[in-house]
Structure 1
């Protein structure tokens, strides 16, 4: 599931949150085992360049809100670590 985006240093940041355990065919969502998270960072105005980064955590997040906030914070750290924000989109970053 995706929840909107925010603009950070000229790049669009999309938190990506999904259940830790995939939903079995014919059953409802499985939120009891928590959530995993990733973040998509892309240039604004259409995805001319974008990358997805998965958060590496020891255990799933307890709720989707925590996962979303962690995704956004992770993207900000990745972008801030580069001399130019758009460098985070380069494959070797």
Structure 2
């Protein structure tokens, strides 16, 4: 009988960590890398919005992501709101 021990998320290679696990591994105050593909960018914005803990603007979210442009983050936040993955609580301000 073979058993496979589940590894702690922080001991896995970084390529297999989720965005949230990467953020925990990096520590507070460090920026999340702005990833190249659209699905990864959407996931990063959604995770940053959830981590904000309350309403946030595109500028606030963009400052948590390395090399992220505020206009691109604003577009992704509007898209997330349009598909029900975020809520626009007032013009330009979103919550998870």
- One fold, TM greater than 0.5? no
Q: For this structure pair, what is the TM-score category when the shorter chain's length is used for normalisation?
A: under 0.3
Q: Whose Rg is larger? A: 2
Higher strand share: 1
Higher helix share: 2
* TM-score, normalised by the number of residues in structure 2: 0.24
Question: Highest relative contact order (Cα 8 Å, sep 6+), 1 or 2?
Answer: 1
* TM-score, normalised by the number of residues in structure 1: 0.25
